[in-house]
């Protein structure tokens, strides 16, 4: 039996994370660095003592406490393969956590009575399962309140948005990081206080765009939280006069925000655009300041840009990959974890916004929004995350690639390592066809290709939805 009770709120942890994050924001090069080094030392101590997996990787280390560089880089596939020896809480096992995830009622429930669990997609070849402890969640909340919302200066305090109406448009069919986080936030307030909490409604990104626009119009949010591709598609609906939202803020994350998407979103909705760079491995890696620069939360997370041979890349040069060390989570540690995004750590330390946190540039995940013909001369927009979610849930596959070959023709490719490839390909095509029908697309021809998906040559990541035409 698993404890399906809601996660408990720890006011002491929350206040500590807020106060330390606030103090680091005042002095990133002093107090921020001190907190980072303090957290790193604690992480390496607890990881070495409590994680059999990481301890075995230090077999050649003989003297004193290990330093960060003593840990060999590790990837998602290795961690998932050796899941039961990973966590410092030895009760955490792959079997028990998967049983917990299988119950939809556990979306914001407490695994083992104390942990939030979320999953990631398999764009790098392996879906991930990540167990978040209370200090991690407190850190993410503090970063969100004090940095994502643009409050980093002296005297900055969190504004909780009590007068706002929040709409979250995301993947709602599983324990994804965004979905699990929103469900947790909805359950944080004590039952008697919930009627007074700011309104927050969840919408599925799988909903056809015109229906989604109508649902949002009825709800009339003042803050929209979603992916850049979804926000840009809704911005085009707004610009065409088919949507009339009065947004004070738009929050985006989970995908690469392109300059064109930024122009569309700001042009259609106005208000503040808040961009967050994060991942399932660390929810808030960097936030965007009012001057459009991404600042690394270097008091909570360490990024090491590396080349294709895992050698350090100097500031100002684009890396082939990045090694992430999560300083917040002591339960399921991530030390020098291969994230795969191409990151440039900028040489300049100053920014016009006044923040001394390091600036980074990211070339991350960027699937294409597809525009197809419904057979009657009308264009239908398909959001990449919605399409991917439909195939993942409908066919149980993660390693696929959908290519737009013409306005009425798509090609489906699957990895050759997929068990029973013919059956998997047929299931993926059937899930895609069902998704297309839900969006009013009844005349799209889907080709099952025998070719392998084409991965990004430098990072190995898989763009699962593409309008381009690789051979």
pLDDT (tens digit per residue) in 351-392: 888 899 999 998 755 678 899 998 888 889 998 888 988 888
How much is the pLDDT for 2? 43
Structure confidence at residue 29 as a pLDDT band (50, 70, 90) = very high
Across 40-58, average pLDDT: 94
CATH number at residue 278: 3.40.50.12780
Across 337-342, average pLDDT: 88
Let me know whether 155 and 279 are in one domain: yes
Across 203-219, average pLDDT: 94
Residue at which a domain ends, from 363, 383, 414: 363
pLDDT at residue 56 above 60?
Answer: yes
Structure confidence at residue 176 as a pLDDT band (50, 70, 90) = confident
Q: Is residue 252 part of a domain?
A: yes
How much is the pLDDT for 159? 46
Structure confidence at residue 44 as a pLDDT band (50, 70, 90) = very high
Let me know whether 218 and 252 are in one domain: yes
Percent of the chain's residues with pLDDT above 90: 54
Q: What are phi and psi of 464, to 5 degrees?
A: -85, -15
Let me know whether 173 and 76 are in one domain: yes
Across 143-167, average pLDDT: 65
- 285 or 464: which carries more pLDDT confidence? 285
How much is the pLDDT for 197? 61
> DSSP label at 184?
H
How much is the pLDDT for 454? 80
Task: Tell me the range of 113-122, 190-199, 223-232, 328-337 where mean pLDDT is highest.
Answer: 328-337
pLDDT at residue 147 above 50?
Answer: yes
Alpha helices by DSSP H, 329-408:
384-395
Cβ atoms of 341 and 363 within 8 Å: the answer is yes
Range of lowest pLDDT (160-174, 278-292, 326-340): 160-174
- 406 or 333: which carries more pLDDT confidence? 333
Percent of the chain's residues with pLDDT above 70: 88
Q: Is residue 248 part of a domain?
A: yes
Q: How far apart are CA 436 and CA 212, in angstroms?
A: 15
Average pLDDT, the chain: 86
Structure confidence at residue 461 as a pLDDT band (50, 70, 90) = low
Q: How far apart are CA 283 and CA 144, in angstroms?
A: 10
Let me know whether 393 and 353 are in one domain: no
Let me know whether 333 and 375 are in one domain: no
Range of lowest pLDDT (79-83, 143-147, 154-158): 154-158
Q: Is residue 312 part of a domain?
A: yes
Chain centre to alpha carbon of residue 195: 29
Q: What are phi and psi of 103, to 5 degrees?
A: -95, 115
How much is the pLDDT for 1? 37
How much is the pLDDT for 290? 87
How much is the pLDDT for 22? 95
pLDDT at residue 339 above 50?
Answer: yes
Task: Tell me the range of 146-155, 200-209, 331-340, 386-395 where mean pLDDT is highest.
Answer: 331-340
How much is the pLDDT for 341? 83
State the Cα torsion 91-93-95-101 to the nearest 10°: 90
Q: Is residue 393 part of a domain?
A: yes
Q: How far apart are CA 165 and CA 160, in angstroms?
A: 11
Whole-angstrom Cα Rg for the chain: 22
Q: How far apart are CA 244 and CA 312, in angstroms?
A: 48
Kindly report the CA angle at 465 between 459 and 469, in degrees rounded to 5? 85
Q: Is residue 447 part of a domain?
A: yes
Structure confidence at residue 457 as a pLDDT band (50, 70, 90) = low
How much is the pLDDT for 84? 97
Residue at which a domain ends, from 345, 363, 381: 363
How much is the pLDDT for 184? 82
Q: How far apart are CA 285 and CA 254, in angstroms?
A: 11
Let me know whether 190 and 100 are in one domain: yes
Let me know whether 445 and 331 are in one domain: no
Alpha helices by DSSP H, 316-399:
384-395
Residue 244 tokens read as: 């009339």
pLDDT at residue 293 above 60?
Answer: yes
Let me know whether 155 and 304 are in one domain: yes
Helix axes 384-395, 421-438, angle to 10 degrees: 130
How much is the pLDDT for 3? 45
Q: Is residue 154 part of a domain?
A: yes
Q: Are strands 128-132 and 116-120 parallel, antiparallel or unpaired?
A: antiparallel
Let me know whether 382 and 306 are in one domain: no
Q: What is the pLDDT of residues 79-137, one digit of tens each?
A: 999 999 999 999 999 999 999 998 877 877 889 989 999 988 655 456 799 999 999 99
How much is the pLDDT for 196? 47
Residue at which a domain ends, from 314, 342, 363: 363
Q: What is the pLDDT of residues 408-438, one digit of tens each?
A: 999 999 877 777 888 889 999 999 999 999 9
- 442 or 468: which carries more pLDDT confidence? 442
CATH number at residue 427: 3.30.300
Across 272-294, average pLDDT: 91
Q: How far is CA 410 from CA 371, 372, 425, 446, in A?
A: 11, 9, 13, 5
Query: How many other β-carbons are positioned within 10 Å of the β-carbon of residue 179?
Result: 22
How much is the pLDDT for 469? 62
CA-wise closest residue to 417 among 74, 126, 95 = 126
How much is the pLDDT for 470? 56
Let me know whether 143 and 89 are in one domain: yes
Let me know whether 285 and 406 are in one domain: no
Q: Is residue 2 part of a domain?
A: no
Let me know whether 388 and 268 are in one domain: no
Helix axes 11-26, 134-143, angle to 10 degrees: 40
Domain count, the chain: 2
Count of all residues that appear for the chain in the document: 471
Q: Is residue 5 part of a domain?
A: no
Q: Is the dihedral of CA 334, 301, 368, 273 positive or negative?
A: positive
Across 204-222, average pLDDT: 94
Range of the domain at 240: 11-363
């Amino acid at each position: 039996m698993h404890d399906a009770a809601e996660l408990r709120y720890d006011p002491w942890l929350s206040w500590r994370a807020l106060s330390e994050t606030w103090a680091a924001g005042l002095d990133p090069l002093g107090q921020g660095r001190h907190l980072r080094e303090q957290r790193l030392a604690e992480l390496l101590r607890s990881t070495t003592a409590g994680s059999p997996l990481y301890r075995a990787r230090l077999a050649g280390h003989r003297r004193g406490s290990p330093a960060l560089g003593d840990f060999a880089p590790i990837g998602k596939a290795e961690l998932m393969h050796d899941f039961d020896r990973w966590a410092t809480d030895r009760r955490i096992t792959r079997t028990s956590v998967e049983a917990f995830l299988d119950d939809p009622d556990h979306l914001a429930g407490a695994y083992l009575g104390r942990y939030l669990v979320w999953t990631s997609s398999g764009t790098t070849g392996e879906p991930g399962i990540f167990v978040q402890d209370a200090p991690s969640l407190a850190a993410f909340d503090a970063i969100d309140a004090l940095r994502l919302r643009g409050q980093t200066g002296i005297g900055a305090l969190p504004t909780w948005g009590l007068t706002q109406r929040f709409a979250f448009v995301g993947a709602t069919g599983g324990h994804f990081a965004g979905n699990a986080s929103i469900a947790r936030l909805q359950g944080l307030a004590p039952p008697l206080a919930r009627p007074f909490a700011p309104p927050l409604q969840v919408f599925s990104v799988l909903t056809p765009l015109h229906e989604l626009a109508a649902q949002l119009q009825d709800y009339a949010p003042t803050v929209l939280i979603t992916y850049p591709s979804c926000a840009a598609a809704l911005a085009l609906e707004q610009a065409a006069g088919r949507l009339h939202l009065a947004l004070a803020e738009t929050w985006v994350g989970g995908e690469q925000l392109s300059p064109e998407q930024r122009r569309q979103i700001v042009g259609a909705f106005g208000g503040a655009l808040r961009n967050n760079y994060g991942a399932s491995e660390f929810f808030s890696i960097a936030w965007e300041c009012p001057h459009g620069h991404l600042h690394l939360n270097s008091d909570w997370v360490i990024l090491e840009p590396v080349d294709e041979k895992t050698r350090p890349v100097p500031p100002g040069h684009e890396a082939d990959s990045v090694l992430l060390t999560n300083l917040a989570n002591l339960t399921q540690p991530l030390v020098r974890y291969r994230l795969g995004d191409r990151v440039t750590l900028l040489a300049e330390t100053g920014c016009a916004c006044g923040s001394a946190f390091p600036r980074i540039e990211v070339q991350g995940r960027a699937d294409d929004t597809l525009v197809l013909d419904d057979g009657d001369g009308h264009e239908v927009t398909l959001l990449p995350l919605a399409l991917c979610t439909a195939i993942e849930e409908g066919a149980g596959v993660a390693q696929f690639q959908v290519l737009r070959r013409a306005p009425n023709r798509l090609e489906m490719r699957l990895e050759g390592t997929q068990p029973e490839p013919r059956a998997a390909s047929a299931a993926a095509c059937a899930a895609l066809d069902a998704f297309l029908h839900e969006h009013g697309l009844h005349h799209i021809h889907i080709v099952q290709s025998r070719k392998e998906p084409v991965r990004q040559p430098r990072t190995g990541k898989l763009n699962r939805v593409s309008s381009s035409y690789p051979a």
